[in-house]
Structure 1
Amino acid sequence: MAIERRIARAEFTLTRDYPVPVGRAWDAFADEHQKLSWWGAGDAVTPGEWAFDFRVGGRDIAEGKFHDGPVSRYEATYTDIVEQLRIVTTYDMWIDGSHMSTSIATLEFDPIDGGTRFTHTEHGVFFDQFWADGPNRANGTEGLLASLGDYLS
């Protein structure tokens, strides 16, 4: 069966306030052991390959198999890191070996009374059979931010 060749674009911004200092929220991304504690789909995924290289030009990989579902693969490159202020990545997603999307994500950390305002802004391009998944990316990211919130509290 031939794959229909098309793309879709999606962009979104999610903002969350976490009741911890900026340094604590930052470390949840910058420290590998902390990131492993909250990143991913928890018990819904059997972990696979993992790589963590938090520096400009460094690459992260997170792969896992959803129970009774597909293998998801995330590969990111850090393009800009300003300590306790912002992280910018470009990343690609694959589902069962098929290239699903390419995105740029900007993560911002702002001090507020009582904690940190975290803002995730993303611009993505979704390929071929995955074109309709663009709007769902925000839902997946909301799940990650909820997991981060649970970890920080």
Structure 2
Amino acid sequence: MTIERRIARADFTLSRHYPAPIDRVWDAFADEQQKQSWWGGGDAVEHRDWMFDFRVGGRDIDEGRFHDGPVTRYEATYTDIVEHSRIVTTYDMWLDGVHMSTSIASLEFDAVDGGTRFTHTEHGVFFDQFWADGSNREQGSAGLLEALGAYLARRKE
């Protein structure tokens, strides 16, 4: 079978207001135990590989199989971290061992009345048979932000 070689790009920005102080929202990303509590599909995923190294130049890896479904792999490198302000990563995604995309994502944290405004901006490049996956990525990212919101609501202090 010949794979048609093509490339597509997708950009999106998602913003959320979380009724939690900026340090709690930040810690949900910066603390490994907290991140594991909300990131990556919960009980819907059979986890296979995990690495967490939150520092500039550090890498995160999250690989798992969705029950009765594909194996996904996320590998990120932190390129910029400014505490309580921003996180910038480049990351690659694989589906069943096939490289599907490369993205740059900026995560911005702003203290506002009543909590934190969080903004996720992403620029993705999708390869070959995954060329039309930009909207799926945006939906997946929105799902992660919903999981973060639910996690923060459970952790009210």
What residue in structure 1 maps to residue 23 of structure 2? 23
Offset, 1:21: 0.5
| Number of corresponding residues | 153
What residue in structure 2 maps to residue 113 of structure 1? 113
Could you tell me how far apart the structure 1 residues matched to 2:55 and 2:84 are? 13
Offset, 1:61: 0.1
What residue in structure 2 maps to residue 141 of structure 1? 141
Could you tell me how far apart the structure 2 residues matched to 1:8 and 1:44 are? 29
Could you tell me how far apart the structure 1 residues matched to 2:37 and 2:135 are? 27
Q: Which moved more, 1:121-130 or 1:40-49?
A: 40-49
Residues 23-42 of structure 1 mapped to structure 2, 5 A cutoff: 23-42=23-42
Residues 23-62 of structure 1 mapped to structure 2, 5 A cutoff: 23-62=23-62
Residues 62-101 of structure 1 mapped to structure 2, 5 A cutoff: 62-101=62-101
Given the two structures, how large is their TM-score scaled by the length of structure 1? Answer: 0.99
Q: Which runs of 4+ in 1 moved over 4 A?
A: none
Offset, 1:132: 1.0
What residue in structure 2 maps to residue 132 of structure 1? 132
Which residue identity does 1:36 align to in structure 2?
Q
Cα deviations by residue, 1:24-83 (Å, 9 ceiling, x for unpaired): 000000000000000011121101100000000000000000111100000000000000
Q: Which runs of 5+ in 1 are unaligned?
A: none
Could you tell me how far apart the structure 1 residues matched to 2:143 and 2:19 are? 18
Which residue identity does 1:69 align to in structure 2?
G
